[in-house]
């Protein structure tokens, strides 16, 4: 006999989307159970991007024990660098908002501690294998625990916050997939022991390709440079890494230090065809992925679940289905804006392997147009700091 666990909302995935959703639901008195294939330690160690929009920060700051305001750092701008010159985009001056640099795994530590402290049922090491009954009012997750024992979670609603290889997505769109675009480049990312090379992020376009100078702390820095998607992270010596980075950020001298972590991040743009079927929905990376250039990933996940939490409150507390019926459409408006923004930042700053001399000069014309126009800088600042949720 298979054990059945009952809850109101069953969530697959204890990443930012799943954890924030459980927090919002709990604030409205709605119970949930979260399943995740990984261990807590694995989740807390996953290295991801670090830029949070003001709206994301405001929400995280309401969570007990959050360190977003103490460990996170407010950034009031970024620099766009091309042809050896830096151009600052002043966020508060242009958009009235800022962003925060707070690495995702730190936000996850806060969220996990707060949810576990509040008695949230989170089951680690559990693999969801299927979701059944989307069209009825008792959807369920079929799962197997870390000892190989099968069980089911039956709920009023099932949410897939289970990342780009989502199992829950299959219950929604079957094999219908979605809309996607591959890019002919990836990012070579490093963590190094060095002091900051700049106070704010530098997004640098150079004839050899893109580089991003980011930060982590007074002693650890995060940097990336455009590379071939098939590149081997171990193939470059430290000297080659620094030579590439210095050449890609012309006009500045980067502070160098021992490289203690390196990875190649392949990227693509993806939006699932359907975000909901009956009583099953997908959010975050399960529903969409963006290239990292626009720093939108986690912010988009949080926006999805803020909207979904409101719709689930209406459904489960007031039997009002209308907000849920409008949820996917409302979420998709923001998702496609973020898709466009991420694609735009990516194509404006990277050098495609097949780029012609025309493409290169057109790209410089585009960068010049953006930085020399207040409207252009404002457009970038609004997109980067995130559009209000309404």
Q: Structure tokens of 304?
A: 């999805």
CA dist., res. 74 & res. 92, Å (int): 11
Compute, in degrees rounded to 10, the torsion defined by CA atoms 274, 178, 17, 23.
0
**Does residue 295 bind ligand PHB (CB under 6 A)?**
yes
Concatenate the DSSP letters of all residues of 250-287 into one string.
Answer: TT--PPP--EEEEEEEEEEEEEES-SEETTEEE-GGGT
Among residues 115, 222, 288, 350, the one that binds ligand PHB under rule CB under 6 A: 222
Q: Using CB under 6 A, which residues numbered 156 to 215 contact ligand PHB?
A: 201, 214
Among residues 49, 191, 211, 213, the one that binds ligand PHB under rule CB under 6 A: 49
Least distance between ligand PHB and beta carbon 128 (Å)? 28
Catalytic residue among 109, 288, 296, 350: 296
**Does residue 50 bind ligand PHB (CB under 6 A)?**
yes
CA dist., res. 335 & res. 323, Å (int): 18
Cβ-based nearer residue to ligand PHB, 222 or 279: 222
Among residues 54, 120, 293, 346, the one that binds ligand PHB under rule CB under 6 A: 293
What order of strands is seen across the sheet that includes strand 99-101?
51-53, 99-101, 73-75
384 in active site: yes
**Does residue 264 bind ligand PHB (CB under 6 A)?**
no
Catalytic residue among 75, 109, 288, 350: 75
**Does residue 55 bind ligand PHB (CB under 6 A)?**
no
Give the other-Cβ count within 10 Å of 318's Cβ: 10
379 in active site: no
208 φ/ψ angles, rounded to the nearest 5 degrees: -85, -5
Cβ-based nearer residue to ligand PHB, 17 or 211: 211
Catalytic residue among 102, 183, 203, 224: 203
102 in active site: no
Angle, helices 322-349 vs 357-372, to 10°: value is 120
Least distance between ligand PHB and beta carbon 186 (Å)? 13
109 in active site: no
16 in active site: no
**Does residue 72 bind ligand PHB (CB under 6 A)?**
no
CA dist., res. 68 & res. 45, Å (int): 17
Q: How many CA atoms lie within 13 A of 168 on its CB side?
A: 33
The site for ligand PHB, by CB under 6 A, has a size of 9
Compute, in degrees rounded to 10, the torsion defined by CA atoms 332, 338, 344, 350.
-120
Cβ-based nearer residue to ligand PHB, 198 or 295: 295
Least distance between ligand PHB and beta carbon 46 (Å)? 12
Taking CB positions, which residue lies at the least distance from ligand PHB?
A: 214
Q: Are 103 and 52 in contact (CB under 8 A)?
A: no
Rg (CA), the chain: 21
Least distance between ligand PHB and beta carbon 61 (Å)? 20
Among residues 15, 86, 292, 383, the one that binds ligand PHB under rule CB under 6 A: 292
Query: Of 316, 2, 278, 4, whose CA–CA distance to 153 is shortest?
Result: 4
- Which residues form the interface with ligand PHB (CB under 6 A)? 49-51, 201, 214, 222, 292-293, 295
Query: What is the set of active-site residues?
Result: 75, 203, 292, 296, 384
């Amino acid at each position: 006999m298979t054990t059945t666990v009952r809850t109101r909302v069953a969530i697959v995935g204890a990443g930012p989307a799943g954890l924030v959703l459980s927090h919002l639901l709990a604030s409205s008195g709605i119970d949930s159970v979260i399943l995740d294939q990984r261990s807590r330690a694995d989740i807390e160690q996953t290295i991801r991007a670090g830029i949070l929009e003001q709206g994301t920060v405001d929400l995280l700051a309401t969570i007990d024990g959050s360190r977003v305001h103490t460990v996170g750092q407010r950034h009031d701008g970024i620099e766009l660098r091309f042809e050896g010159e830096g151009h600052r985009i002043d966020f508060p001056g242009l958009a009235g908002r800022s962003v925060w640099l707070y690495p995702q795994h730190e936000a996850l530590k806060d969220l996990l501690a707060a949810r576990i402290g509040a008695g949230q049922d989170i089951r680690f090491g559990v693999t969801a294998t299927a979701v059944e009954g989307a069209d009825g009012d008792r959807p369920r997750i079929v799962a197997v625990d870390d000892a190989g024992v099968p069980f089911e979670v039956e709920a009023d609603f099932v949410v897939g916050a289970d990342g780009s290889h989502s199992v829950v997505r299959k219950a929604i769109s079957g094999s219908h997939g979605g809309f996607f675009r591959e890019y002919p480049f990836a990012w070579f990312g490093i963590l190094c022991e060095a002091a900051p090379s700049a106070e704010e992020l530098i997004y640098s376009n150079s004839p050899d390709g893109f580089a991003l100078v980011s930060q982590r702390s007074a002693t650890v820095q995060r940097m990336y440079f455009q590379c071939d998607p098939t590149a081997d992270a171990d193939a470059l010596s430290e000297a080659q890494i620094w030579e590439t980075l210095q050449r890609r950020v012309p006009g500045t001298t980067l502070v160098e230090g021992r490289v203690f972590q390196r990875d190649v991040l392949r990227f693509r743009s993806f939006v699932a065809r359907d975000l909901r079927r009956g009583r099953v929905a997908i959010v975050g990376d399960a529903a969409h992925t963006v290239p990292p250039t626009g720093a939108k990933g986690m912010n988009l996940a949080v926006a999805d679940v803020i909207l979904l939490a409101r719709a689930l409150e209406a459904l489960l507390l007031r039997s009002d289905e209308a907000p849920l019926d409008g949820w996917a459409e409302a979420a998709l408006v923001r998702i496609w804006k973020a898709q466009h923004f991420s694609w735009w930042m990516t194509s404006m700053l990277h050098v495609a392997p097949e780029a012609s001399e025309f493409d290169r000069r057109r790209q410089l014309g585009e960068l010049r147009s953006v930085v020399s126009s207040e409207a252009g800088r404002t457009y970038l600042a609004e997109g980067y700091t995130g559009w209000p949720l309404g």
